[in-house]
Structure 1
Amino acid sequence: MQKSMTYSTPAVPRPHRQRPALTAALPFLLPVAVVLLWQLGSSLGWLSSSVLPSPWAVVKDGVTLTLSGELPKNLSISLYRATVGLLIGGGLGLFLGFINGTSRICRLLLDSSIQMIRNIPHLALIPLIILWLGINESAKISLVAIGTMFPVYINTLNGIRSVDPDLLEMGRSYNLSRHDLFKKIIFPAALPQILVGIRYALGVMWTTLIVAETLSASSGIGYMATNAEDYVDMETVVLCIVIYAILGKVSDLVAKGFEALLLDWQTTKRSEAA
């Protein structure tokens, strides 16, 4: 008489489930802790207001400047300069990256010169831009455009050049035209790298704008900081720094949102594979 043998199915570990509330709160824990310690240090007299004003004093100064209309006016001007500069520089970077990535002749003709110009710190061009364009809006926008063009260009070019050759060969075997090959294979494969370039360009955009608005400017957040520095108005100086930090964070969140939206097919593909 044979004994029946039973086989137990090995336990499959359950995937770790993240709590949405905890996941959403984690990025804010460190900034909130820093602000609380900052306020505590100011309240106990560890931090002098002439060196670093308290967060509450900075908030009150922001409310005052908002009610007077000064902060909204300068903030809107800074956003305008940053947006227009990014659109011009990013658009030019995309265009050059596309043509150099898809055309060997264009790449041989243009890439070497672009790389040489890229190695020049764009902030070093400020004296030249002022001599050419003066100190008006076009100078500030041009400086932002130059700073944002190269990150987008480099990542676009590398994204297109790193497309899997097997995918290109498969597209040619299906007799896809150059337009369809770019639309259905090259661009989707290069899109993650392009979005990385745009995300990096957003950081360069704000860094460049800070410098541009502190040089011979009469408006903008950078101008507010420089003007406050002349009058030793530490609350406004810190407020402008905080505003730049918030703008940078919001820009990064917007970039992440576009990545999640435009690269949704990657997430779907991973889910199906799992």
Structure 2
Amino acid sequence: MAEFDFTDARILVSNDDGINAAGLAVLEAIARQLTDDVWVVAPELEQSGASHSLTMHRPLRVRELGPKRFAIDGTPTDCVLLAINHLMADKRPTLVLSGINHGSNLGEDVTYSGTIACAMEATLLGVRAIAMSQRMPHGGPPNWAVPEAMGADVVRKVMSADWPKLVLMNVNYPDVSVGDVTGVQVVRHGNRKIGDELDERVDPRGRRYFWIGAARGDEDVPADTDVHVVNHGGVAVTPIYLDLTHYGCLEGLKGAFA
């Protein structure tokens, strides 16, 4: 495995928490440890849970905040699409880094995540992409110490591997001190479906409303999953494949229509 050469690399940094998010600043700092050619293109406002949505029925506004730094009043997907196909059209990025998300993206989270969507859009446009997320403490401020200490090295190692087309990388950091990290593990996705808990309430005008609650319990999960690794203080790296076809079912389904 040869080390990836970042000498002439151009990195695009984006997210779903918005242009002013603390995690974006941490990720930008990681990118600048790898190359001087760093672009930041992120949503004006938080877009958590936006998934891979694209704005199609209204115009998009692009606000230039400084050299190589832009805010877009759209979704994470919009940001990456406009960055690669317009703002950086003279020289496409070598790598897209997405995040660092305020909260983990484990298991089924990836189907809702705007952080993952940034990486998806880049991958579909032929640019390698790594999504990063930080597990949050319950009720406390985020602790960015682990990605600050390990993020650049994780990117270097991931980029040194060979990736097939339509694959992106999903990295999740635990909420522990740097000295308590149990290692970096390459694992599959687990299961921890969000939304099983619906909190029904009544507003001051007597109208019902709902809060979508936390994910169901994620303690009893297999050890070879991202959920288990992060729960036990490790950094989880998971390759995600964007070909959603289930090939094992394909031939049998053909037979049903023969």
TM-score bracket relative to the smaller structure: under 0.3
Greater strand fraction, Structure 1 or Structure 2: 2
Query: Which fold has the larger relative contact order, with Cα–Cα distance below 8 Å and residues 6 or more apart in sequence?
Result: 1
Which TM-score applies when normalising by structure 2?
A: 0.24
Which TM-score applies when normalising by structure 1?
A: 0.23
